[in-house]
Amino acid sequence: MPKFPPMASSRRKVASELPKAARRPAPNSDDDQPESRPTIWDNLSARQREEVEALAAEYRRFLSENKTERTVGARILALAKEAGLVDLAQGGPAPKGGYLAHHGKLFGLYAPGRSAEKGFNLIVAHGDAPRLDLKPRCLYEDGGLGLLKSNLYGGLKKFQWLARPLAMWGFCVLKDGREVNFRFGDEPGDPVLTITDLLPHLDSRIQRDKKLVDAFPAERLNVLAATIPTGSAKEKHRLKKTVKDFLYKKWGLSEDDLVSSEIELVPAGPAQEVGLDRSLIGGYGQDDRLSVFVALKAFLAGKKLQKPSLLIIFDREEIGSYGSTGAETNFVVRLAAAALAKSGAKDDWRAVTEALAASMALSADVEAAFDPTFKEVHDELNAARIGLGPCLVRYTGGAGKYGASEARAEYMAHVRSVFDESGVVWQSTLLGKQEYGGGGTVALSLAFHGLSIVDCGAPILSMHSPFEISSKADLWMTMKAMAAFYQKA
Ligand code: MN
Ligand code: MN
């Protein structure tokens, strides 16, 4: 998640109407504290353990091979086409469903089900992650070093990006329309890039005695690129020339082409297993590519759906969801209209808005896991625990639920009922203590259409860092939760 979190349908009885024996214990009753609850690991069969490991291995490859919103999107499209989905923007039938892509960074998928006019089961996630971008004019040299100027993208802790190996993933469009895609620092044999930090011997005035936010000004995040000068010692800007020559020889890019390029600096190296017991996955971009990965798997596994499924992977969530590929657009309306048209239902304004208002959604985004090292920021009763499964986060926001899209009680009842019926191990959580910060998700943007929505995702340690940590068991159970939602909600 950037920083904030399944209803009983009319055919299902509400809890108060059920006989006492059918009621489940409240998740947070005194004999059911998070510490004393069994973890997912406690109840896995040998076969399930194999499933967990296989899924985790596939997920690590997905994380390692898709470190930008564009590469995540390209992977989604490839898998959708492989599954027989067709372009919803084209005419013709879509018996297996279809996809809609916008500006190379925003993707929607549709799978048919019964009575589309009565609404969809929708899961939304985001494919972007906090990172550093190169500025449009970024090449310069100083003090014998060739350097690149970067720009923050999203809520990252700047000091975590210094003195560590970085890779550079680019998408560039030349004036004649040619497109250049590259990755540098993540290919076998590649060198890496890095941003230098100050040695502790000399940091007392400009770092150590300052507030964290002032100690690391964004304009000091300069990427070290070259030290071998080009040309004769009489010439100027010889290191800048080294970098320019490299860009031209390697990818055919001139300095001016960087103006029409999207070049992202991301942590170099693959996602890894973490822990003596290998129970965890460490890697960049798990917020929110964990949700993207499991939601996509769940979507593609759907069979004989009661209701049609939609999946949307947004861009720009980490910077407020604004812009043509973010959740603050009418993309969900376009996708719903296209899906209704393909299903043979009416697709006029009224039909589309009614179908959306009747839809049920999960805002799939990761949740901050309880970290005992930083206990004081968590409300322990409501904090997410590693290994206890996906979190249902009824509301996010900060300062008195400000900016929260709170799920109503009926919808919470429906989703927890779907999860329980499907054997999903899940937890009810909130982001942290009140008045300690806060955050939000795309749930708010989707709720604009009047649909039912709640945040749901796996707990993550070190969120927004270059090395985020998730649990293999939570990954697997979150996929089960998403599949149950598509199949039964
Ligand atoms: Mn997120
Ligand atoms: Mn985030």
Q: Calculate how far, in angstroms, residue 291's C-alpha sits from the geometric centre of ligand 1.
A: 9
Q: Calculate how far, in angstroms, residue 126's C-alpha sits from the geometric centre of ligand 1.
A: 7
Q: Calculate how far, in angstroms, residue 365's C-alpha sits from the geometric centre of ligand 1.
A: 5
Is residue 63 within 8 A of residue 286, CB to CB? The reply is yes
Which stretches of the chain drop beneath a pLDDT of 50? 1-25
Is residue 484 within 8 A of residue 122, CB to CB? The reply is no
In DSSP notation, 281-301 reads: EEETTHHHHHHHHHHHHHHHH
Closest by CA position to 101, among listed 315, 415, 416, 348: 315
Q: What domains sit in the chain, N to C, each tagged with a CATH number?
A: 8-128+284-488 (3.40.630.10), 131-267 (2.30.250.10)
Rounded distance between C-alpha atoms, residue 68 and residue 153, angstroms: 12
Structure tokens, 150: 């970067």
pLDDT of residue 204: 93
Rounded distance between C-alpha atoms, residue 105 and residue 124, angstroms: 14
pLDDT of residue 10: 37
pLDDT of residue 27: 52
pLDDT of residue 4: 34
Q: Calculate how far, in angstroms, residue 466's C-alpha sits from the geometric centre of ligand 1.
A: 14
Return the ligand number nearest the Cα of 318: 2
Return the ligand number nearest the Cα of 292: 1
pLDDT of residue 438: 84
Closest by CA position to 362, among listed 49, 84, 107, 123: 123
pLDDT of residue 32: 63
Q: Calculate how far, in angstroms, residue 153's C-alpha sits from the geometric centre of ligand 1.
A: 13
pLDDT of residue 14: 40
Q: Calculate how far, in angstroms, residue 99's C-alpha sits from the geometric centre of ligand 1.
A: 23
Q: Which residues surround ligand 1, an ion (CB under 5 A)?
A: 1-2, 287-288, 365
Is residue 144 within 8 A of residue 337, CB to CB? The reply is no
Q: Calculate how far, in angstroms, residue 193's C-alpha sits from the geometric centre of ligand 1.
A: 26
Q: Calculate how far, in angstroms, residue 137's C-alpha sits from the geometric centre of ligand 2.
A: 27
Looking at this protein, which amino acid is placed at residue 341?
A: A
pLDDT of residue 274: 98
Return the ligand number nearest the Cα of 1: 1
* 0.85 exceeded by pTM: yes
Closest by CA position to 263, among listed 271, 253, 272: 253
In DSSP notation, 363-414 reads: EE--EEBP-GGGGGGS-TTT-B-TTS-PEEES--BBTTTBT--PPPHHHHHH
Return the residue matching tokens 């010889």.
238
Q: Calculate how far, in angstroms, residue 440's C-alpha sits from the geometric centre of ligand 1.
A: 8
Q: Calculate how far, in angstroms, residue 3's C-alpha sits from the geometric centre of ligand 2.
A: 6
pLDDT of residue 6: 35
Q: Calculate how far, in angstroms, residue 320's C-alpha sits from the geometric centre of ligand 1.
A: 11
Q: Calculate how far, in angstroms, residue 136's C-alpha sits from the geometric centre of ligand 1.
A: 26
Q: Calculate how far, in angstroms, residue 367's C-alpha sits from the geometric centre of ligand 1.
A: 8
pLDDT of residue 489: 83
Q: Calculate how far, in angstroms, residue 474's C-alpha sits from the geometric centre of ligand 2.
A: 18
What letter does residue 174 receive in the DSSP assignment?
-
